[in-house]
Amino acid sequence: MPKWFSPAVLVCGAMFALSPLVIANAPYESTMGLVQKVFYYHMPSAWVFLTASVVCGIASARFLATGNARHDRTALAAAEMAVLFGLLTLVTGPLWARKAWGQWWIWDARITSSLVGWMIAWAYLILRQYGGPGSEKLAAGLALFGMANVPFIYVSVNYWRTIHPATTVVPKLPFSMGFPLMFCLASFYLLMFLLMKLRVRVAEQQARLDAIYLSLDEEA
């Protein structure tokens, strides 16, 4: 691993350890009170989930086009990130929605597309796990289709009615709320980056090990 990796892990750990303090110091939102604080973890996980999905889709498209295994390893790591942070998003969202809208789950466009996107990322991993040899190309095809699908799901669900807060809320937040949000966002992105780096590294080692086994077989 590069030299900066261990210090970066320490920084990331420290940021997550500090985040409850930063969040606790943020002011209470007037109508939702304490429950609103879920938001400081909910939105960063959602952003990381979205970023990871896009990275997975683009890496898959490049893998299909070039056949370079490096893109495939990136796509796999990104898909795992998408499943992990997608789960965080889908768990923290209802906690907030129960208080804000009085319901655990609402079939709103953004929520539904997140759920379906998360399912596609998970299906990607299931395919890689149980599909047997050659499944990485199939999974790349799935990721590409999954990415193309997002606008369709969004439009089709949106035609009902949308009540999820718009992203335009964020720039208007006061500093006392904006700072904890940005802090958490940075922590989550750093975490995603480090985990992906680690996962790609594991995949690289696996590929090298496989290559060594193969060459030994040929010599024998």
Q: Which residues bind other proteins (CB under 8 A)?
A: 64-65, 67, 116, 119-120, 123, 126-127, 130-132, 134-135, 137-138, 140-142, 144-146, 148-149, 152-153, 155-157, 159
Of 9 and 64, nearer to other proteins (C-beta) is 64
Residue 176 C-beta: closest distance to other proteins, Å: 40
Residue 128 C-beta: closest distance to other proteins, Å: 10
Of 60 and 74, nearer to other proteins (C-beta) is 60
CA distance 131 to 126: 8
Q: Tokens 């655990």 correspond to what residue?
A: 104
Of 67 and 165, nearer to other proteins (C-beta) is 67
Of 52 and 157, nearer to other proteins (C-beta) is 157
Of 60 and 187, nearer to other proteins (C-beta) is 60
The DSSP string of 69-100 is HHHHHHHHHHHHHHHHHHHHHHHHHHHHHHHH
Measured in whole angstroms, the distance separating CA 30 from the mean position of its chain's CA atoms is 30
What sign does the dihedral 206-209-213-218 (CA atoms) show?
positive
Which amino acid is located at 43 in the chain? M
Q: Is 33 helix (H, G, I), strand (E, B) or coil?
A: strand
Close Cβ partners of 129 (under 8 Å, ≥ 6 residues apart):
none
CA distance 9 to 5: 6
Residue 74 C-beta: closest distance to other proteins, Å: 17
Residue 57 C-beta: closest distance to other proteins, Å: 12
Residue 93 C-beta: closest distance to other proteins, Å: 18
Contact predicate 201/1, CB 8 Å: yes
Residue 49 C-beta: closest distance to other proteins, Å: 15
Residue 105 C-beta: closest distance to other proteins, Å: 16
Cα dihedral 92, 168, 44, 176 in deg (nearest 10): -100
Q: Which helix (H) or strand (E) holds 49?
A: helix 39-66
Measured in whole angstroms, the distance separating CA 83 from the mean position of its chain's CA atoms is 6
Of 13 and 131, nearer to other proteins (C-beta) is 131
